[in-house]
Structure 1
Amino acid sequence: MKVRLLSRTVWVLALVSLFADIASEMLYPIMPVYLRSIGFSVLLIGVLEGVAQATAGLSKGYFGRLSDRTGQRLPFIRWGYLLAAVSKPMLALSPLPLWVFGSRTLDRFGKGLRTGARDALLSDEATPQTKGRVFGFHRAMDTLGACIGPGIALLYLYLQPGKYTPLFYMAFVPGLASVLLIYLLREKRRPAKVSPRGSKYNFLDFLSYWRESPAAYRRLLVGLLLFALFNSSDFFLLLRMKEAGLDDTYVIGLYIFYNLVYALSSFPMGIAADKWGLKPIYLMGLGLFAAVYLGMALTLRMEVYLVLILAYGLFAAATEGVSKAWITNICAPRDTATAIGTYTAFESIATLGASALAGLLWQLYGPATTFAASGILAILVVVYLAFSVKSPVTQSSSS
């Protein structure tokens, strides 16, 4: 029987992510500059991003497991995208650090609310042989928004240089469009999981999945989380280019170029992962990351940055969707949202440390040390995954 590779649900979820990312990425490349303009230090920016990502991660774990337990996906997806949309204009209402922290955290909480359920819904629309391309296509459309959003920001700042605040209000429009698109989706209600009598479900209950999960899942997560421990926010890449002397136009332009490479290569990378294996493509991506970060440590030349950003886009395309496809091919279908939520919860906690540590290293020893450390550690993770983790086993289409 011939299986349609990209279903209607996959297309709608891809469009939802497209508009949501237009909203987010209108703001992302100007956020470091905006935060510096209202008095945030590099260290405080690192802490802000770390706290926001940790909030997203913990809520991903909780709501991923809750989605599996209740057998529902769409309520989590709808509310997650709505909170993210509302948080955009909130960021511009006050420069007080506590307000900025709260608004940014609300945005990431929305991401945590929706991610596990959305990725589980995507996984349900794929077979083990098509996971790479389904997640790759979704990532491509998501990242296309990351090209359009900064493009809008670049045009606006060309016309209104230095006036960042109106962009936060403009970003609400595509954010709202993403929420409305979700109402085109329908889901089949899954039976809720039966919990042991007397058991209570708390915010950290997803941690029990670590003990219940397959050994292959735990070995894979060790490698993924080691990488997350030094994969700090992309804010630091933008700051590195900004402090190298590039103006806002060049920085945002390079960021658009990165997302364009990411968007155009995500679907082909997913197809390649389905054909040649998820593990080889993922390891290739980590190798590119190491090369980029070592390059950022050694050079301040704009023409070299162009090559490094090209490689960074390929790294993202080879790892983001592929890692989720790898996880969903290891875990049981009934635990998909929990498995992804648990991984992203631990990942975000690691990112909290990574961003804070990167900010501290930058402040104490400078950007070169920060990037060199990440590049060297990435090579060590490649070695670990290459020798300690097997490729996921899928049924061949010919079997």
Structure 2
Amino acid sequence: MKKRGKKNVFRLGLTSLFTDISSEMIFPVLPLFLTTVLNAPMSIVGLIEGIAEATASFLKLASGWFSDKFGKKKSIVIGGYSLSTITKPILAVASHWTHVLGVRFFDRVGKGIRDSPRDALLAASVNKKTRGKSFGLHRALDTTGAIIGTIIAFLLLRLYSGDSFRLIFLLSFIPGVIAVLILIFGVKEKDHKKDHKFKFNFSKLNSNLKKFLFIIVIFNLANFSYAFFLLRAKNIGVLISLIPLIYLVYNLMYAFFSVPAGKISDKIGRKPVLFSGFLLFGLTALGFAFIANRITIWILFGLYGLFMAITEGVSRAFVSDLSNKNIRGTALGTYHMLVGLTVFPANLIGGFLWDAINVQSPFIYAAALSILSSFLLLFLIKNNHKKAM
């Protein structure tokens, strides 16, 4: 990895770190704010998360295509981060669940604009031999921000006697601004000429990439929002003030194992690493369904974080490996779009199963699909670690 590439990876990671401090001050408490302050049912929580992620997904494809077409990735990334930073503090004045929906919508618009060109910018900064490690480092820094944000939320919930939810929402603006400044002044982009002949043809994609995208669709129909896992903790009697601390366990595992998972995938290939991650999620979901209590919930959140560490960065590295560099932004955008589009029905189905049947049923459903996905990955994707480009 060249010196400039290392700096880009690290500074993109710092941008994500401060953005996630901002986001994770909010996200662990937002489902609690919705259900305890605004009295929204679980089906509404699922609806909000589904709409938010679906919105981001459409834009991830568009922004990825635009960045490949016009060659300007950094300016698009800046716009996306800036929109999210401005939007989140508005939660402080929310008085109805529709207000939360509006904020989550525009926050995810920002995420949709930035994610694909940012991942393509990161992939362009390094070579294939270190790509897994680089994506892992980015995810680790991102999750370190989540850890810090979660700790801040926990301390405010425990120590502030007033409306701690709304104070958290307001304070989230500060790290968001720092993230945008690091991006503007610290990240460099190579000059790229505008490609007037750029075209993207899905049918010409690497066959393994098309199969992997199909498997991602199946898997993410089971991968509903973190909100379900947090509310499962509340359901078994965990104190509201302790829920951010349980979420911290998730983020610690995610941060600690992201780089090792990326390094392992660089050495043995992405497929076996992803297979183990999908299978682990299925088993963890079964744990949330059948053995969750005030003791085991800490272990289950740790396993949930380990699953994320194994799969998040490695999946993006795999898509980057299997796509030509001149369409990498669009390929990553397609991946992100499919993830979000399938998370939308996953959240709706999860919310419906929770309300209509019982709290265990969403997790049983998730386990079945994720275990199926792990074996589809095992048998459909060819072992071409050495040939990936």
Does the alignment reach a TM-score above 0.5? yes
Residues 237 and 294, structure 2, Cα contact 8 Å, conserved in 1: no
Residues 290 and 360, structure 2, Cα contact 8 Å, conserved in 1: yes
Q: Note closer, same or farther for the CA distance 1:5–1:307 as it changes in structure 2 (3 Å cut).
A: farther
Q: Note closer, same or farther for the CA distance 1:282–1:297 as it changes in structure 2 (3 Å cut).
A: same
Q: Note the C-alpha offset of 1:356.
A: 0.7
Q: Which moved more, 1:382-391 or 1:147-156?
A: 382-391
1:134-188 Cα shifts (integer Å, max 9, x gaps): 0000000000011000100111111125531111110000001000111222212
The 2-side partners of 1:13 and 1:30 are apart by: 26
Q: Note the C-alpha offset of 1:126.
A: 1.6
Q: Aligned pair 1:188/2:217, yes or no?
A: no
The 2-side partners of 1:211 and 1:95 are apart by: 47
Q: Which moved more, 1:365-374 or 1:303-312?
A: 303-312
Extract unaligned runs of 5+ from structure 2: none
Residues 269 and 385, structure 2, Cα contact 8 Å, conserved in 1: no
Q: Note closer, same or farther for the CA distance 1:106–1:351 as it changes in structure 2 (3 Å cut).
A: same
Q: Aligned pair 1:359/2:361, yes or no?
A: no
The 2-side partners of 1:260 and 1:56 are apart by: 26
Q: Aligned pair 1:213/2:205, yes or no?
A: yes
Counterpart in the other structure of 2:175: 174
Q: Match of 1:95, as an amino acid? A: S
Residues 5 and 126, structure 1, Cα contact 8 Å, conserved in 2: no
The 1-side partners of 2:259 and 2:373 are apart by: 25
Q: Aligned pair 1:292/2:293, yes or no?
A: no
Q: Aligned pair 1:225/2:224, yes or no?
A: no
Residues 60 and 341, structure 1, Cα contact 8 Å, conserved in 2: yes
Counterpart in the other structure of 1:201: none
The 2-side partners of 1:360 and 1:270 are apart by: 36
2:164 alignment partner, SS class = coil
The 2-side partners of 1:86 and 1:18 are apart by: 17
* Identity across matched positions, percent: 34
Q: Aligned pair 1:308/2:300, yes or no?
A: yes
1:191 alignment partner, SS class = coil
Counterpart in the other structure of 1:20: 19
Q: Match of 2:6, as an amino acid? A: S
Q: Note the C-alpha offset of 1:334.
A: 0.7
Q: Note the C-alpha offset of 1:233.
A: 0.2
1:275 alignment partner, SS class = helix
Counterpart in the other structure of 1:328: 320
2:27 alignment partner, SS class = helix
Q: Note the C-alpha offset of 1:195.
A: 3.8
Q: Aligned pair 1:61/2:61, yes or no?
A: yes
1:245 alignment partner, SS class = coil
Q: Match of 2:179, as an amino acid? A: S
1:330-367 Cα shifts (integer Å, max 9, x gaps): 00011111001011112111111000110001000111
The 1-side partners of 2:386 and 2:246 are apart by: 38
Q: Match of 2:319, as an amino acid? A: I
Counterpart in the other structure of 1:202: none
The aligned runs of 1:106-117 (5 Å cut-off) are: 106-117=106-117
Q: Note closer, same or farther for the CA distance 1:392–1:300 as it changes in structure 2 (3 Å cut).
A: same
Residues 34 and 97, structure 2, Cα contact 8 Å, conserved in 1: no
Q: Match of 1:309, as an amino acid? A: F
1:149 alignment partner, SS class = helix
Q: Note the C-alpha offset of 1:209.
A: 4.1
Residues 329 and 394, structure 1, Cα contact 8 Å, conserved in 2: no
Q: Note the C-alpha offset of 1:101.
A: 1.4
The aligned runs of 1:118-197 (5 Å cut-off) are: 118-161=118-161, 163-183=164-184, 184-195=186-197
Residues 19 and 174, structure 1, Cα contact 8 Å, conserved in 2: yes
1:367 alignment partner, SS class = coil
1:250 alignment partner, SS class = helix
1:217-267 Cα shifts (integer Å, max 9, x gaps): 111101111101111001000000111100123211110011011101101
Counterpart in the other structure of 1:29: 28
Residues 56 and 110, structure 1, Cα contact 8 Å, conserved in 2: yes
Counterpart in the other structure of 2:274: 282
The 2-side partners of 1:367 and 1:193 are apart by: 51
Residues 5 and 134, structure 1, Cα contact 8 Å, conserved in 2: no
Q: Note closer, same or farther for the CA distance 1:6–1:304 as it changes in structure 2 (3 Å cut).
A: farther
Extract unaligned runs of 5+ from structure 1: 197-205
Q: Note the C-alpha offset of 1:372.
A: 0.9
Q: Match of 2:190, as an amino acid? A: K
Q: Note the C-alpha offset of 1:291.
A: 1.0
Q: Note closer, same or farther for the CA distance 1:282–1:365 as it changes in structure 2 (3 Å cut).
A: same
The 2-side partners of 1:103 and 1:372 are apart by: 31
Q: Note closer, same or farther for the CA distance 1:3–1:185 as it changes in structure 2 (3 Å cut).
A: closer
TM-score normalised by structure 1 residue count: 0.93
The 2-side partners of 1:217 and 1:395 are apart by: 13
1:52-108 Cα shifts (integer Å, max 9, x gaps): 000000000001100000001111110110011011111222323333212111100
The 1-side partners of 2:313 and 2:236 are apart by: 31
Q: Aligned pair 1:9/2:1, yes or no?
A: no
Counterpart in the other structure of 1:74: 74
